[in-house]
């Protein structure tokens, strides 16, 4: 086993799913998984807001990471490929400061707002 390999992490999470038969017991149902991920995100938040240790923060982040890999199993997509595709995409994006913090986004320009006029001068 190579602990730096996504493939090996995926195999370990798959073994965890298999051990508890998540596929046939609701453990791979996406709405349930979203709730579990939200729960773990809350635990990460709690580590920050309650000043818990770095070890606690690492453990809760690992919980979310394991759930993310499991969600890729449940929804049958290649998270490794999605990661690299998305990194390529976001590396091309601009950043700007928003309320004192950096934000990297596409920063789409809003072309139409409610009450504005379209090109023909009609209200939209
Ligand atoms: Mg947790």
CA of residue 94 to ligand 1 center, whole Å: 33
* pLDDT, tens digit, 9 for 90 and up, residues 74-94: 999 999 999 999 999 999 999
CATH of residue 26's domain is 1.10.287.1080
CA of residue 10 to ligand 1 center, whole Å: 19
* pLDDT, tens digit, 9 for 90 and up, residues 25-76: 999 999 999 999 999 999 999 999 999 999 999 999 999 999 999 999 999 9
Residue 121 domain flag: no
β-bridge partners, 97: 102
Residue 110 domain flag: no
Assign 3-state DSSP to the chain and report helix, strand, coil percentages, each to 5. 55, 10, 35
Residues 94-118 have a mean pLDDT of: 84
Question: What per-residue confidence (pLDDT) applies to 119?
Answer: 59
Model confidence, pTM: 0.85
Domain that holds residue 88: 6-105
Total domains, the chain: 1
Question: What per-residue confidence (pLDDT) applies to 108?
Answer: 85
Query: What residues sit around ligand 1, an ion, with C-beta below 5 angstroms?
Result: 43, 60, 63
Q: How far apart are CA 124 and CA 38, in angstroms?
A: 37
Residue 112: which residues within 8 A CB-CB, separation 6 or more? 118, 124
CA of residue 48 to ligand 1 center, whole Å: 13
Residue 116 domain flag: no
Residue 60 domain flag: yes
């Amino acid at each position: 086993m190579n602990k730096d390999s996504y493939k090996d992490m995926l195999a370990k999470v798959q073994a965890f799913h298999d051990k508890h038969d998540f596929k046939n017991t609701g453990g791979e149902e996406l709405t349930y998984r979203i709730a579990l991920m939200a729960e773990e995100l809350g635990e990460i938040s709690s580590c920050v807001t309650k000043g818990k240790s770095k070890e606690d923060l690492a453990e809760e982040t690992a919980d979310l990471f394991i759930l993310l890999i499991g969600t890729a199993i449940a929804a049958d997509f290649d998270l490794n490929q999605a990661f690299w595709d998305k990194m390529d995409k976001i590396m091309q994006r601009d950043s700007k400061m928003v309320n004192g913090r950096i934000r990297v986004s596409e920063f789409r320009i809003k072309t139409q707002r409610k009450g504005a006029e379209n090109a023909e001068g009609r209200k939209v």
